[in-house]
């Protein structure tokens, strides 16, 4: 403890002896750490948005389907339970949110044109906070009940179909016997979505209305459950598994959309790789600075050894000096990152590359996300690797022969 | 060797460890830059080629507004004749006419909404890779046969195979009800999930009959021999469009807007990363050269007293940096080139890449390709920034006073 | 009781392509309370002998005893401990740690030894006053003259009252007045505290203060004179 105090004092004073060099090194470390955290926050923000949008497209962290539905998303592959049974099973299970739906491919036709869409029959009351549509932002109105007779479509789809609120469209799909099931609807609302493709793809109708149109009685194609945290849905997964028997397939969202599921893992890996790459680029400068610092101080180090300091103390002193440098650099870097990310948390407008972001599956507004665990990761990696990188110059310093060091002349 | 060069070179090796560490930072960045840039641009190339070759083509002649709405009424009149005229005028075979709409396709067991394209069986193989990707049956051959080719996923979803019948229901150009019964002639597998799931092709003649097109279509696809020649070709095509008709030529960027922007978005994040790497190297160089100048204060004082100007000394410092930079470029290009070349031959993959890659029409294994640009672009920038970083220490020499400098320890 | 005993020391250096015998079968005994000046021309071996006595350098052959304890076979750590507790050093130059003030330089050794802070501070101030540096305690080495720096070094060497002080050319960078002051300080310490001094120097003035002068040439003792204090 006592030695630590002396060593720290010496290390601290030595750090500021060559203030230019220290300042340059601090600049490098700060920029590096800032870049680590800033880039990570942007990436995490993007991934979170992508996953949130992705999940809101699927929606549901854990989903239950007929075993053949995923390969063949057709009305013939209904869940072998009635919706009433499903409600009786899932209702009391205490999920934070769950719902059952009909989800089938369909063709929507206006008097002008037709398009292929994904038709969703939902319970609008239950799904209010589950789907990506904000009911209050809908032009016209959103669906009001399971037997609402209207449909809600996206703005973009309405444009291509040349239709609007109040006009009629026809939806065509098939019933379980592959007879054409079609029905006219009145467009009651137009929704906006973060991701433009959603506006073209999704059409919402009442669940009961669709059940009648498709002649499936009290049956649905999927049950979805939302968890508290999309990053970990194991509890919900286990709970759902316990509720259903073998006649259905239960899947986590990471399995349903492997792109997004993998994205989460790949991005976590990317963050670590990025932090390490930056550190390596920094490490050359760090080692260089220490080597120079040691080289300039050969005589003093010799003197301290001659006066009775142990080699271990010299090692410690250089390591402390390096750690001080890193800690200050980390402090400035973290602060810079915080200062630059905070004002951007309201969102960075990327609409000039909106369609490109959409191709990645991301929205055109990027919300950087400063996560504590990423900041901790960056700091810990820098400290640990920095310590390891400093060992060699520190070790060399401690191995000086006092006599040679003192008598060294340049 | 010139004396100044020799002096600069020897000065570098007065502190071999420091020189190596600084060069090491350069080499590290250069290797990384070479690898990343090779990978990145190879990937963009593949993304563009795979996306455009399958179906879109380099450019399309369309009615204005079709690109946004794709309404069946937004037509190109006499599309077949226009395509023929363009083929003749440009002396190119890679031009074909198409029409398209959305229909409800029913097999015996299933019904799906799909996009159907009317194509010219004779010319379509010149502009799209789909005709060459037939895995069962054959591609269309007669211009008015009641036949269809569909994607493999769609075939599976519809539960049909070659020889089965499909009923198509949709609306014609005038909004009237349109229907046809067609036989599945072939099934293709492009590997692009979106295309395999939702695209079907009919002969253009049949399409025009069924959907009351009256000789019109929706697009004339034009391919240039190479993507880089697309711009020139586009102006030629524009000049050849029949006067008085309201038509536009859409380039690939407009046709697949996501593609270029995805590349731009990816590029901007990549360039941010490269920028940071380069800045960190510059810091390293600044540190080293400043130290090396400060150490030599006394020495510089002596040579200045002997009559050397600060400008010449500054050039010496820059020369030393340039030498270090050249070593960094040489070693970096050697190591980076070798590493990237090796990975280019053997390919590499990382966990999760397969899922990511299919989203962008990319193969699951990456084969970065080293080009002269990818080999030299990164190192050149590193070199440039190293020299910029050395400017400060070099210019500091102007503040040096010979007498004081000589007295310095 | 002998403070220092050297038996049959040999040490050879290579300089260029020549072997230089810095110590050539040298034996020497110094009693407690001695005030010895080792004198030789440059390269005569006095610094090598001083370093061997201080455990900074290992002889090729022979034995070194400090207060009866053999030290030439000790480990680096044990030697460090020995120097820390029992020997004070004054070098020719580069005596002080540049980032520490005069007072901190003096405290440094005590701090490493583990002397409590309050004790340390008082002792440091006392000893700096004793060597005539009152008022300069908070200056850093760069802010002091060569003589002042050398006095700080002496203060540091004697502050923990070591039985033995080794000084290598302590007056080499000082003017004659400052040199006299330093030597008087040494003499006083020698007489009042019984501290043994071994000083390597070819400065006539230093020799004038010494009780015993050992002259060396080519690594051997050529002359060993006891003289009365001046």
Q: What is the residue range of C80's domain?
A: 2-226
Q: Using the structure block, give the residue that is written with the tokens 């051997």.
A: C220
Q: Could you give phi then psi for residue C209, rounded to 5 degrees?
A: -85, -20
pLDDT one-digit tens code per residue, A340-354:
988 888 777 776 666
Q: Could you give phi then psi for residue A104, rounded to 5 degrees?
A: -140, 155
pLDDT value at A358 more than 90: no
Q: What string of pLDDT tens digits covers the 230 residues of chain C?
A: 788 999 999 998 877 788 888 889 999 999 989 999 999 887 778 888 988 898 888 889 999 999 889 998 888 888 888 888 888 888 877 678 888 899 988 888 888 888 888 888 898 998 888 888 888 889 988 888 888 888 898 888 888 888 899 998 888 777 888 788 888 888 988 898 888 999 998 888 888 899 999 999 888 888 888 886 54
Q: Using the structure block, give the residue that is written with the tokens 């002051």.
A: C181
What is the CB neighbour count within 10 angstroms for residue B94? 19
The pLDDT value recorded for residue A410 is: 38
pLDDT value at B257 more than 70: yes
Which residue of C56, C81, C112 is in closest CB contact with A402? C56
Residues on chain A touching C114 (C-beta within 8 angstroms):
2
pLDDT value at B69 more than 70: yes
Say yes or no: C91 contacts chain A, CB-CB below 8 A: yes
* Side-chain-facing half-sphere of C189: CA atoms under 13 Å: 27
Q: CATH number, domain at C110?
A: 3.40.50.300
Cβ pair A355:B258 closer than 8 A: yes
Instruction: Report residue A45 as tokens.
Output: 């923000």
Q: Which of A273, A227, A221, A276 minimizes the C-alpha distance to A78?
A: A221
CA distance C109 to A127: 75
Which residue of A3, A308, A402 is in closest CB contact with C81? A308
pLDDT value at B138 more than 90: yes
Cβ pair B260:A356 closer than 8 A: yes
DSSP state of B56: I
Which residue of C94, C112, C156 is in closest CB contact with A406? C94
What confidence category does residue A272 fall into, taking pLDDT thresholds of 50, 70 and 90? confident
Cβ pair A25:B294 closer than 8 A: no
Q: Could you give phi then psi for residue A18, rounded to 5 degrees?
A: -105, 80
CA distance A74 to B158: 9
The pLDDT value recorded for residue B408 is: 61
Say yes or no: C225 contacts chain A, CB-CB below 8 A: no
What is the CB neighbour count within 10 angstroms for residue C169? 20
Instruction: Report residue C25 as tokens.
Output: 């079968």
Residues on chain C touching A308 (C-beta within 8 angstroms):
80-85, 109, 112-113
Angle at the Cα of C20 from the Cα atoms of C17 and C21, rounded to 5 degrees: 150
pLDDT one-digit tens code per residue, B189-237:
887 777 888 889 999 999 999 999 999 999 999 998 888 888 889 998 9
Strand locations in B191-347 (E): 199-203, 219-222, 248-251
The shortest C-alpha distance from A47 to chain B (Å) reads 13
By the 10 Å C-beta count (0-12 exposed, 13-18 middle, 19+ buried), A101 is classed as buried
Say which range, A95-109, A129-143, B41-55, B157-171, has the weakest mean pLDDT. Answer: B41-55
Phi/psi class of residue A304: alpha, beta or left (left: φ > 0; alpha: ψ in -120 to 50)? alpha
Residues on chain A touching C85 (C-beta within 8 angstroms):
308
The pLDDT value recorded for residue A406 is: 63
Which residue of C83, C85, C100 is in closest CB contact with A306? C83
CA distances from B288 to A11, B282, B283 (A): 21, 10, 9
Q: Which of B178, B105, B196, B205 minimizes the C-alpha distance to A113?
A: B178
- State ipTM: 0.76
**Mean of pLDDT values over B264-275:** 85
pLDDT > 70: percent of chain A: 93
Q: Which of B266, B194, B352, B234 minimizes the C-alpha distance to B42?
A: B266
Cβ pair C89:A3 closer than 8 A: no
Q: Could you give phi then psi for residue A113, rounded to 5 degrees?
A: -155, 170
Scanning C103-132 for CB atoms below 8 A from A yields 108-109, 111-114
Cβ pair C51:A403 closer than 8 A: yes
Q: Are A236 and A227 in contact (CB under 8 A)?
A: yes
Q: Could you give phi then psi for residue C197, rounded to 5 degrees?
A: -115, 130
Instruction: Report residue A266 as tokens.
Output: 């790949």
Say yes or no: A310 contacts chain C, CB-CB below 8 A: yes
The shortest C-alpha distance from B93 to chain A (Å) reads 32
Instruction: Report residue C163 as tokens.
Output: 């039985």
The pLDDT value recorded for residue A30 is: 94
Say yes or no: C99 contacts chain A, CB-CB below 8 A: yes
Beta strands B199-203 and B147-151, pairing class: antiparallel
What is the CB neighbour count within 10 angstroms for residue B6? 10
Question: Domain residue spans in chain A?
Answer: 2-54+261-407, 60-256
The shortest C-alpha distance from B269 to chain A (Å) reads 8
Size of interface A-C (CB pairs under 8 A): 65
**Mean of pLDDT values over B258-270:** 80
Question: Domain residue spans in chain B?
Answer: 3-51+259-407, 59-223
In b/e form, how buried is each residue of C192-217, taking b as 16+ CB within 10 angstroms?
Answer: eeebbbbbbbbbeebbebbbbbbbbe
Q: Are B135 and B189 in contact (CB under 8 A)?
A: yes
Residues on chain C touching A310 (C-beta within 8 angstroms):
76-77, 80-81
The pLDDT value recorded for residue A263 is: 75
What confidence category does residue B361 fall into, taking pLDDT thresholds of 50, 70 and 90? low
Domain count across chain C: 1
pLDDT value at A246 more than 90: no
In what helix (H) or strand (E) does residue B265 lie, and over which residues does it extend?
helix B257-295
Residues on chain C touching A3 (C-beta within 8 angstroms):
112
User: What is the largest distance, in Å, between two alpha-carbon atoms of chain B?
Assistant: 100
């Amino acid at each position: 403890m006592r030695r630590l105090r002396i060593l720290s004092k010496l290390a601290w004073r030595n750090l500021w002896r060559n203030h230019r060099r220290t300042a340059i090194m601090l600049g490098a470390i700060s920029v590096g750490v800032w870049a680590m955290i800033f880039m990570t926050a942007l990436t995490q923000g993007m991934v979170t948005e992508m996953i949130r949008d992705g999940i809101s497209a699927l929606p549901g962290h854990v989903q239950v389907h007929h075993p053949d539905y995923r390969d063949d998303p057709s009305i013939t592959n209904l869940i072998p339970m009635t919706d009433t049974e499903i409600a009786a099973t899932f209702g009391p299970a205490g999920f934070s949110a769950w719902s059952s739906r009909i989800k089938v491919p369909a063709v929507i036709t206006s008097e002008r044109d037709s398009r292929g869409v994904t038709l969703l029959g939902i319970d609008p009351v239950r799904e209010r906070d589950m789907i990506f549509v904000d009911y209050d932002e809908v032009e016209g109105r959103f669906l009001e009940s399971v037997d609402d007779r209207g449909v809600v479509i996206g703005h973009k789809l309405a444009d291509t179909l040349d239709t609007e609120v109040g006009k009629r469209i026809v939806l065509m799909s098939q019933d379980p016997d592959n007879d054409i099931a079609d029905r006219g609807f009145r467009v009651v609302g137009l929704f906006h979505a973060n991701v433009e493709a959603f506006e073209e793809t999704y059409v919402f109708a009442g669940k009961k209305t669709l059940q009648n149109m498709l002649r499936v009685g009290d049956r649905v194609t999927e049950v979805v459950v939302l968890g508290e945290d999309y990053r970990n849905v194991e509890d919900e997964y286990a709970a759902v598994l316990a509720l259903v028997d073998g006649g259905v397939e239960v899947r986590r969202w990471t399995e349903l959309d492997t792109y997004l599921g993998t994205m989460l893992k790949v991005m976590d890996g990317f963050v670590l790789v990025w932090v390490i790459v930056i550190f390596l680029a920094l490490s050359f400068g760090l080692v260089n600075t220490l080597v120079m610092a040691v080289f300039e101080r050969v005589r003093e180090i010799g003197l301290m050894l001659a006066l009775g300091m142990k080699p271990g103390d010299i090692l410690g002193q250089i390591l402390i000096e390096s750690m001080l440098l890193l800690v200050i650099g980390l402090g400035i870097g973290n602060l810079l990152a915080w200062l630059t990310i905070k004002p951007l948390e309201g969102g960075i407008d990327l609409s000039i590359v909106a369609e490109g972001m959409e191709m990645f599956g991301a929205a055109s507004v990027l919300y950087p996300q400063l996560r504590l665990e990423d900041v901790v990761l960056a700091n810990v990696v820098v400290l640990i690797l920095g310590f390891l990188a400093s060992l060699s110059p520190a070790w060399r310093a401690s191995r000086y022969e006092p006599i040679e060091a003192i008598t060294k002349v340049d | 060797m010139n004396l100044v060069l020799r002096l600069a070179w020897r000065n570098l090796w007065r502190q071999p460890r420091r020189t190596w560490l600084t060069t090491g930072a350069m080499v590290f960045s250069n290797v990384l830059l070479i690898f990343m840039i090779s990978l990145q641009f190879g990937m963009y190339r593949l993304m563009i080629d795979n996306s455009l070759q399958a179906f879109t083509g380099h450019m399309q002649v369309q009615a204005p507004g079709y690109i946004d709405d794709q309404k069946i009424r937004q037509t190109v009149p006499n599309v077949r004749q226009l395509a023929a005229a363009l083929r003749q005028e440009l002396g190119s075979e890679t031009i074909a006419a198409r029409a398209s709409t959305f229909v409800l396709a029913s097999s015996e067991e299933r019904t799906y909404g799909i996009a159907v394209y009317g194509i010219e069986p004779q010319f379509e193989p010149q502009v799209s890779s789909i005709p060459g990707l037939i895995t069962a049956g054959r591609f269309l051959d007669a211009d008015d046969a009641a036949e269809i080719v569909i994607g493999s996923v769609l075939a599976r979803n519809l539960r049909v195979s070659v020889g089965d019948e499909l009923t198509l229901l949709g609306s014609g150009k005038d909004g009237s009800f349109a229907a046809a019964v067609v036989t599945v002639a072939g099934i293709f597998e492009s590997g692009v999930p979106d295309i395999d799931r939702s695209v079907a092709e009919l002969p253009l003649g049949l399409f025009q009959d069924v959907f009351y097109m009256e000789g019109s279509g929706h697009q004339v696809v034009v391919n240039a021999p190479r993507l880089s020649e697309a711009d020139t070709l586009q102006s030629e095509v524009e000049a050849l469009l029949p006067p008085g008709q309201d038509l536009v030529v859409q380039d690939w960027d407009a046709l697949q807007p996501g593609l270029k922007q995805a590349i731009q978005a990816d590029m901007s994040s990549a360039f941010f990363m490269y920028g940071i790497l380069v800045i960190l190297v510059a810091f390293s160089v600044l540190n080293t050269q400043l130290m090396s100048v400060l150490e030599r204060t006394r020495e510089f004082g002596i040579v200045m007293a002997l009559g050397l100007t600060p400008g010449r000394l500054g050039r010496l410092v820059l020369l030393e940096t340039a030498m270090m930079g050249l070593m960094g470029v040489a070693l970096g290009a050697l190591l980076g080139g070798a590493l990237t070349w090796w990975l280019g031959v053997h390919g590499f993959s990382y966990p999760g890449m397969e899922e990511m890659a299919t989203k962008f029409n990319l193969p699951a294994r990456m084969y970065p390709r080293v080009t002269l640009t990818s080999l030299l672009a990164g190192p050149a920038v590193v070199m440039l920034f190293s020299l910029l970083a050395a400017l400060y220490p070099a210019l500091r020499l102007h503040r040096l006073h010979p007498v004081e400098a000589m007295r310095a320890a | 009781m002998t403070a220092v005993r050297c038996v049959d020391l040999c040490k050879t250096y290579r300089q260029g392509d020549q072997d230089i015998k810095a110590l050539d079968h040298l034996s020497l005994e110094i009693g407690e309370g001695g005030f010895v000046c080792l004198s030789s021309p440059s390269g005569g071996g006095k610094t090598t002998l001083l370093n061997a006595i201080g455990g900074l350098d290992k002889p090729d052959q022979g034995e070194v005893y400090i207060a009866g304890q053999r030290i030439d076979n000790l480990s680096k750590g044990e030697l460090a401990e020995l120097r820390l507790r029992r020997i004070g050093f004054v070098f020719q130059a580069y005596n002080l740690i540049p980032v520490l003030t005069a007072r901190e330089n003096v405290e440094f050794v005590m701090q490493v030894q583990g002397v409590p802070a309050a004790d340390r501070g008082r002792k440091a101030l006392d000893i700096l006053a004793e060597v005539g540096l009152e008022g300069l305690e908070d200056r850093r080495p760069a802010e002091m003259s060569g003589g002042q720096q050398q006095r700080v070094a002496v203060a540091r060497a004697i502050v923990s009252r070591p039985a033995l002080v080794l000084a290598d050319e302590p007056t080499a960078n000082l003017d004659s007045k400052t040199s006299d002051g330093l030597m008087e300080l040494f003499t006083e310490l020698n007489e009042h505290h019984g501290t043994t001094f071994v000083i390597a120097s070819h400065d006539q003035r230093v020799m004038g203060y010494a009780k015993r002068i050992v002259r060396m040439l080519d690594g051997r003792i050529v002359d060993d004179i006891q003289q009365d204090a001046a």
